[in-house]
Amino acid sequence: MSRQRVVIVGAGFGGLAAARALARADVEVTLIDRRNHHLFQPLLYQVATAGLSPADIAAPIRSILRRQRNVRVVLDAVIGIDREGRRVILDEGRPIDYDRLILATGARHSYFGRDDWAQHAPGIKTIDDATAVRRKVLLALERAETETDPERRKALLTFAVIGGGPTGVEMAGAIAELARRSVSQDFRSITPQCSRVLLIEAGPRLLGTFPEPLAEKARAAIEDLGVTVLAGKPVEAISDRHVDIAGIRIPTHTVIWAAGVQASPAAMWLDALADRAGRVMVRQDLTVPGYPEIHAIGDTAAFIRTDGRPLPGVAPVAKQQGKHVAQQIARGQSLPFRYRDYGNLATIGRHRAVIDFGRLQMSGTFVWLLWCTAHIFFLAGYRNRFAVGAHWLWNYLTFERGARLITGDAKPTNGEKTWAI
């Protein structure tokens, strides 16, 4: 009998964990991703704010799995699934047959039906998203430097982050550090006091999933950095020149979206039942109802705990689910998945972070150091760990942000044809 063919779609935290957990299983693994790299998304906001380079937090999938001989990596986009024929349909290559299928395709931004906001308020899910946001923030500072009209300069120096979850808090803190401290010596006309960073949250407070005292500490810390928190205020409109909240129009050239996510189209491929965010409803063993050979994990899956609460869309959930599914496949079992919650971390600039271990709740410098250590530890690849550690040390000691490059879409000069390829 030939070996079981396990196909994994997506090399994020969940897909990679599943592939690794199958290292010693007697199966043939095919890992398909649209990109050639695994990305450490929790640090993507630091690329967007010029603290780290893309290559510091990403590693080629092939390199990560180099020593695992039962894995084949395929760079291609999945465009459908033939459930009856048990085949994954690819955009460029030939269909790939599976005996077991693991869907770990992650999530993208959701604008809650206002897709027209996407062009004005980019989110950050990919490296290209992050470098686009970096470009937007740095260009606003550059334009403010030469702008002489005070109203327009104020709008250029107003940065609005939508969404008060961990991503929004981290992003707002990092922008405040960049706009108010890191670049303060580099400009002649604009001063740190000129810039405003707004953190806008529709719900009643920041960090809704954290206990209230911790969220309160985070709010105080982020306000210390110069961020203005506007909670309980849903966004009503976004254009390229302003954002409207609670009936007030705020002129700004830079709006960043950290408010909502939506699952990738795996549920459409399967024609399966999905929740409001597009996530596939899965059984307790993470299989798709009616298809015991198809598993959905991480942000692709809506897993409802036995107490009725859904699991959050965070990396530890995806990793544990990937490992669980792989073990079940290797052992030929079908046991229910149980999530182990090791705590909830968020960081706010230098020296500040909050952590929620359930009964134990902490904040301050020690937690910040813990956050730095944990993130370096979880990065894939020794090279990335070394690079991030070194850059952080440098940024910490010098207050500089080294990756302040505006790339892409270079300004054309009259008479030129071929600067950019």
Segment 50 to 69, residues that bind a copy of itself, using CB under 8 A: 53-56, 58-60, 62-63, 66
Least Å distance, CB 351 to a copy of itself, is: 22
| Residue from 74, 304, 330, 374 in contact with a copy of itself (CB under 8 A) | 74
Stretch that binds a copy of itself, among 157-165, 234-242, 311-319, 395-403 (CB under 8 A): 395-403
Of residues 37 and 279, the one with the C-beta less far from a copy of itself:
37
Give residue for tokens 């600039």: 349
| Residue from 44, 387, 388, 392 in contact with a copy of itself (CB under 8 A) | 387
| Residues 158-197 as x/- pattern, contact with a copy of itself by CB under 8 A | -------------------------x-xxxx---------
| Residue from 19, 78, 202, 380 in contact with a copy of itself (CB under 8 A) | 78
CA distances from 249 to 144, 201, 231, 243, 244 (A): 20, 16, 16, 6, 4
Q: Is 170 a catalytic residue?
A: yes
Of residues 63 and 239, the one with the C-beta less far from a copy of itself:
63
Least Å distance, CB 408 to a copy of itself, is: 6
| Residues 231-270 as x/- pattern, contact with a copy of itself by CB under 8 A | ---------------------------------xx--x--
Q: Does 72 bind a copy of itself (CB under 8 A)?
A: yes
Size of the site for a copy of itself (CB under 8 A): 83
Catalytic residue chosen out of the listed positions 147, 170, 177, 201:
170
Residue length, the chain? 421
Contacts of 173 (CB under 8 A, 6+ apart): 221, 222, 225, 227, 347, 348, 349, 352
Q: Check: CB of residue 253 under 8 Å from CB of residue 241.
A: yes
- Identify residues 18-47 at the interface with a copy of itself (CB under 8 A): 34-37
Of residues 355 and 380, the one with the C-beta less far from a copy of itself:
380
Of residues 116 and 224, the one with the C-beta less far from a copy of itself:
116
Least Å distance, CB 64 to a copy of itself, is: 9
- Identify residues 345-384 at the interface with a copy of itself (CB under 8 A): 381, 383-384
Of residues 221 and 288, the one with the C-beta less far from a copy of itself:
288
Edge-to-edge strand list for the sheet holding 291-296: 71-75, 27-33, 4-9, 100-103, 291-296, 287-288
- Identify residues 99-158 at the interface with a copy of itself (CB under 8 A): 108-109, 111, 115, 118-119, 122-123, 125-129, 131-133, 138-139, 142-143, 145-146
Q: Does 75 bind a copy of itself (CB under 8 A)?
A: yes
Q: Does 276 bind a copy of itself (CB under 8 A)?
A: no
Least Å distance, CB 132 to a copy of itself, is: 5
| Residue from 91, 224, 236, 240 in contact with a copy of itself (CB under 8 A) | 91
Cα 321 to Cα 18: distance, rounded to the nearest angstrom? 8
Q: Check: CB of residue 321 under 8 Å from CB of residue 176.
A: no
| Residue from 2, 306, 333, 414 in contact with a copy of itself (CB under 8 A) | 414
Cα 40 to Cα 344: distance, rounded to the nearest angstrom? 17
Report the interhelical angle of 13-21 vs 315-331 (nearest 10°). 30
Cα 55 to Cα 34: distance, rounded to the nearest angstrom? 17
Residues with a catalytic annotation lie at 170
